[in-house]
């Protein structure tokens, strides 16, 4: 099982009954994808008095949907937690992240939900420095809940933590995302890779700024993606012209 999940279990085992349901292997970049057409299986990995661990053949969100549907009929969980992911899920990565997908799914089901990620892509990050932060945030959310439709995206920087910042999502862009290779059989194929650029590196209120300056970044994240400010502008579009005129 993923080391980040084991770390979370270890950090939270004394606080609550834990139900773990996670994909049976890495699912990087799965976002909010669910399996609309594939049959799925669940396998019990471990069952103790206060801990159940299940492995799911599907996506991160499939795992949450299945766990809620199959194991939580009598009691809605107090929290849904995604992570701890190896690699940051700040800025636009929010949209690609399966860890955030899990967390958005919990939030869409009105369950207080938090994602934890660390800016360390190595096989074995040191999760230990995260422990007091994870425990503090989980305590807070269990005690006070979160506003309806809002979940937390928590990212930890590399190195020593200088403190915590409540952030907004930075505007950033992935570029050079595709590398073309030649298959021995003579056709081209592509790997998705890419580099990330923070498009507002001087903005100190962003998650990217916090992380590059050694701060833990907490970004409250919403399910409602309506661009309210743009609504008024669109209301000026004259759709009376539509009928037959274009």
Cis peptide before 151 (omega within 30 of 0): no
Structural contact between residues 97 and 28, judged by C-beta atoms closer than 8 angstroms: no
Distance CA 167, CA 185 (A): 49
Distance CA 144, CA 233 (A): 37
122 is a site residue for a copy of itself (CB under 8 A): no
Which of 49/187 has CB closer to a copy of itself?
Answer: 187
Per-residue mark of binding to a copy of itself, 1-40 (x: CB under 8 A) = -------------------------x-xxxxxxxxxx-xx
Write out the binding residues for a copy of itself, residues 132-161 only, by CB under 8 A. 132-133, 135-136, 139-140, 146-147, 149-150, 152
Query: Binder to a copy of itself among 177, 201, 204, 213 (CB under 8 A)?
Result: 177
- Lookup: tokens for 167: 């952030």
181 is a site residue for a copy of itself (CB under 8 A): yes
186-197 CB burial, b ≥16 within 10 A, e <16:
eeeeeeeeeebe
227 is a site residue for a copy of itself (CB under 8 A): yes
Distance CA 234, CA 61 (A): 33
Which of 69/74 has CB closer to a copy of itself?
Answer: 69
222 is a site residue for a copy of itself (CB under 8 A): yes
Which of 49/186 has CB closer to a copy of itself?
Answer: 186
CB atoms within 10 A of CB 63: 28
Write out the binding residues for a copy of itself, residues 39-58 only, by CB under 8 A. 39-42, 58
- Write the CB contacts of 204 (distance below 8 Å, at least 6 apart in sequence): none
72 is a site residue for a copy of itself (CB under 8 A): no
* Shortest spacing between CB 131 and a copy of itself, in angstroms: 9
202 is a site residue for a copy of itself (CB under 8 A): no
Which of 49/133 has CB closer to a copy of itself?
Answer: 133
Structural contact between residues 214 and 187, judged by C-beta atoms closer than 8 angstroms: no
């Amino acid at each position: 099982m993923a080391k980040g999940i084991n770390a979370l279990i270890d950090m939270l085992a004394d606080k609550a009954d834990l139900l773990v349901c996670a994909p049976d292997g890495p699912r990087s970049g799965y976002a909010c994808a669910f399996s609309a057409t594939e049959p799925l299986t669940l396998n019990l990995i471990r069952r103790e008095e206060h801990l159940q661990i299940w492995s799911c053949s599907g996506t991160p969100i499939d795992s949450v949907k299945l766990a809620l549907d199959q194991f939580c009929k009598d009691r809605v969980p107090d929290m849904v937690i995604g992570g701890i992911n190896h690699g940051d899920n700040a800025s636009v990565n929010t949209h690609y992240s399966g860890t955030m997908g899990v967390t958005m799914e919990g939030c869409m089901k009105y369950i207080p939900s938090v994602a934890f990620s660390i800016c360390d892509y190595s096989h074995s990050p040191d999760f230990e420095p995260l422990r007091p932060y994870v425990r503090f945030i989980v305590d807070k959310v269990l005690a006070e809940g979160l506003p309806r439709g809002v979940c937390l995206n928590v990212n930890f920087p590399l190195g020593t933590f200088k403190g915590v910042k409540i952030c907004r999502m930075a505007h950033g862009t992935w570029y050079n995302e595709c590398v073309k290779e030649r298959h021995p059989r003579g056709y081209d194929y592509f790997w998705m890779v890419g580099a990330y650029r923070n498009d507002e590196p001087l903005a100190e209120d962003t998650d990217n700024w916090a992380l590059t300056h050694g701060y833990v970044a907490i970004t409250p994240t919403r399910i409602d993606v309506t661009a309210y400010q743009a609504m008024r502008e669109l209301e000026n579009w004259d759709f009376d012209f539509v009928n037959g005129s274009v």
